[in-house]
Structure 1
């Protein structure tokens, strides 16, 4: 293994498991599942108990936005709330569910500023009442190769944008997330430059599918999933959907996002789901659906262009080289 200048550990060719060893390990796992893996099974039971904790209800009416209701079977809630990327609470997929209980989501405000005619600091309750809540069933695709189908609750980001009235200088929208070392134990680590910052072009942010989300599975967002308010941009890789947002800035120049700062050659500003453009260290041609059985051995599926939302968003990128603008 080797570490780059950002502290990330990258496998070398000698670290890759030979196929024969991989298949042998699979047989071994199947043979001992009833015995020696008891402690592992107990850990999974604990995960399910955590994920099944009931939160405050947050229902939404079924969305009529074209493309907003994916007909695929949703990922089990237990999986969607226990397998997460949220580096403020740790870099392992199980860390956020284990550590995010320290996050305080009340009181909470979101400041909207920059190139807008009506800058405002919104209280969370104001945001919750800004527009009727909708349920939208979106596919979430992670750059690491896994995917989920989640029933989100929220409303189009465009509803907020209309109320603050961007000026003619506004070309991009920057999202700044909470970075509180007192409640987020990994803030201050060298994994990323904190706070976590993401961004969209203004037309991307205004697209009806771009969701300001406050809930999932008919409940308020769990802390580990980005409570109390997050972005969901279903045609982009998951890291574009900023969590626990505290500031939204309308700017003239493309924001330098957290992952562009960390590794621009791997995580570009656009980050549209594209099976034809591989990550430098792995293919993006297929994905592993979480929660469909089989664990890490679950059957992979072909990755869809724009994550299956090409009919709705493809026109946003007409004439843009998506290999260069990855």
Structure 2
């Protein structure tokens, strides 16, 4: 279940970071491969190098893209308090033996949240390092027993203009949609997040349930999920529908593929005490640094064509 913490019990960021330093030796070891995933992806989950400073709680929760609450980076933190995250249900549909509408707690209660420190790379050129809480998406999806016709997994975000002021504007085609190929969805790195920094997931970060796909640009990590569908054909996705020449279906982090409006070769890391505006730019890594784990998923594909 999502973590419920009284304000008096919240660990400050400075204490949290000291705790992580003490745990450094343990975190430097790879996590064990997760059960229930295909044999082709039983590799260990890589830890984030300790040299990479975590992005502060303040920046993680106040510098966001969540257009349902506005297009400015500060809009989600200002407006997302209107989102009601309890009760919350998720519809499971499509090519699976088990489908229907499920209450959130029934979906996530069997799964124990674990910490994963992942890089998040935005297509606009900034990046963060975030300690997420969640569990592998595969552990949830396999419960619904997808059939052999399920080649992709499609996701939808809540689109309620009463709670989400941005939905009242024609910024995108609502509801927000995303999708993954099923082997991407079943990969051990793909996370369903219910929290970050040891706390329950804030509304502006996609409460109560969001996707985290660390080797793809951040807009693929869909927030506030209300529907998951197993489908045979590649599903439409919001940014690809809006601007297909800029946003492909796969959207893997690829410094060799230039965005039509800016280069993807470098990024500005928002972390530690660095300034969002003047942080030193660093090279962007293929697949956001997770190439050893995921590059085999795309063997033989032209990643300039399938961007």
TM-score w.r.t. the length of structure 2 is 0.85
Deviation at 1:285, TM superposition (A): 0.1
Say how many residue pairs are matched. Answer: 273
Task: Report what 1:129 is aligned to.
Answer: 109
C-alpha contact 2:54 2:271 (8 A) present in aligned 1: no
Deviation at 1:295, TM superposition (A): 2.9
CA distance in structure 2 between the partners assigned to 1:117 and 1:73 by the alignment: 43
CA RMSD, 1 decimal: 2.0
C-alpha contact 2:45 2:188 (8 A) present in aligned 1: no
- Answering whether residue 197 of structure 2 is matched by residue 226 of structure 1, we say no
| Offset from partner CA, 1:177-215 (integer Å, 9 cap, x none) | 100000000103111000000000000000000001100
From 257, 276, 285, the equivalent of 1:304 is 285
CA 245–159 in structure 1, closer or farther in 2 if over 3 Å, else same: same
CA distance in structure 1 between the partners assigned to 2:177 and 2:146 by the alignment: 20
C-alpha contact 2:133 2:195 (8 A) present in aligned 1: yes
Deviation at 1:294, TM superposition (A): 3.1
CA distance in structure 1 between the partners assigned to 2:58 and 2:80 by the alignment: 16
SS across alignment from 2:193: strand
TM-score w.r.t. the length of structure 1 is 0.80
From 143, 160, 181, the equivalent of 1:180 is 160
Task: Report what 1:317 is aligned to.
Answer: 298
After superposition, residues 1-326 of structure 1 pair within 5 angstroms as 54=7, 63-65=31-33, 66-71=44-49, 72-292=52-272, 293-326=274-307
CA 55–268 in structure 1, closer or farther in 2 if over 3 Å, else same: farther
Deviation at 1:161, TM superposition (A): 1.3
C-alpha contact 1:269 1:325 (8 A) present in aligned 2: yes
Q: Point out the structure with max Rg over C-alpha.
A: 1
CA 325–56 in structure 1, closer or farther in 2 if over 3 Å, else same: farther
C-alpha contact 1:115 1:249 (8 A) present in aligned 2: yes
CA distance in structure 1 between the partners assigned to 2:232 and 2:285 by the alignment: 31
CA distance in structure 1 between the partners assigned to 2:217 and 2:8 by the alignment: 27
CA distance in structure 1 between the partners assigned to 2:296 and 2:241 by the alignment: 28
C-alpha contact 2:83 2:163 (8 A) present in aligned 1: yes
CA distance in structure 2 between the partners assigned to 1:180 and 1:203 by the alignment: 31
C-alpha contact 1:68 1:137 (8 A) present in aligned 2: no
Q: Which runs of 5+ in 1 are unaligned?
A: 1-52
CA 54–195 in structure 1, closer or farther in 2 if over 3 Å, else same: farther
Deviation larger for 104-113 or 286-295: 286-295
Deviation at 1:291, TM superposition (A): 3.1
CA distance in structure 2 between the partners assigned to 1:323 and 1:89 by the alignment: 32
Deviation at 1:56, TM superposition (A): 8.4
CA distance in structure 2 between the partners assigned to 1:235 and 1:54 by the alignment: 33
CA distance in structure 2 between the partners assigned to 1:205 and 1:321 by the alignment: 20
Q: Which runs of 5+ in 2 are unaligned?
A: 1-5, 17-25, 34-43
CA distance in structure 2 between the partners assigned to 1:311 and 1:201 by the alignment: 19
SS across alignment from 1:203: helix
